[in-house]
Amino acid sequence: MVEDICNDNRKIYRITVDLDSYKDVSKALVKALEIFDIKQLRLYQTPSGTGFRLEIRGEFTPIEDIYYRTLLEDDPYRLRFALRRYLGTGEIDLLDISFDEKEQIGGYYGRIVEIDIRDIIDDIMLEEIKKRSYTVENIYKVIEERLLKYVKKITLWTIVIPAEKKYIDIIRDNFRKYRILRDPYYEDRVIFYKVSNENLVEKFEELDIPVITYKTKEITTKNVDLSEEF
């Protein structure tokens, strides 16, 4: 099976890498620019504002797709899912699940925004990256500061629900990028956290998940971490 993917010389013309924070973007951009021409790269922000996609254009084999996505620290769940689909079907267009598909699965249907990489990486920085003469901490800091102009205001939902497996299963089937923690005061309750601009209480009602209480808070998209935890 491993030998099959190594010997697969079919061509893929786009590699995409999902990145969940400004720091992830900084690290991936620098690594990508050490390898590829800046003209091959595109950077996009999700409609929710909480994630990014780095796209690399060119000609790649399936093993190169996996290699570069691993090197640039693509979302490991996405990478594992894509590899399972490829190995199960042999179809290379299933190897790289599209960013648009992931966003629709997550409930976001807004506009994907392209970020001009030249607005983030100037000529001096690019030369330092190509020569590998930069200081890691400094260059990451500059990139993150320049990404701040793309910060958006979003709503963080905190919803308390009964701690029953059937409700947790429904959540796992219908949401992504959330966090569930046990309520420290009530053993029979859990707390659900998610960033969303839609009314999640109404969504819970549609899914027959009882809401005990909830609150909302306006935050920004910088450094949002809502990976699943339970």
> For residues 41 and 139, what is the distance between their CA atoms, to the nearest angstrom?
18
Nearest 5°: phi and psi at 42? -135, 145
Query: Over the stretch 202-217, which tens digit does the pLDDT of each residue have?
Result: 999 999 999 999 999 8
pLDDT of residue 154: 77
Q: How far is CA 181 from CA 161, 210, 225, in A?
A: 11, 17, 14
Q: What is the dihedral of CA 222, 176, 181, 198, to 10 degrees?
A: 70
Q: What is the pLDDT of residue 87?
A: 77
Q: Which amino acid is at 26?
A: S
3 state SS of 95: coil
List of the chain residues with pLDDT < 70: 1-5, 47-50, 92-111, 221-230
pLDDT at 15: 92
Give the domains, in start order, of the chain with CATH numbers: 2-150 (no CATH), 153-220 (3.30.70.1150)
pLDDT attached to residue 161: 96
User: According to the model, what pLDDT value does residue 97 have?
Assistant: 55
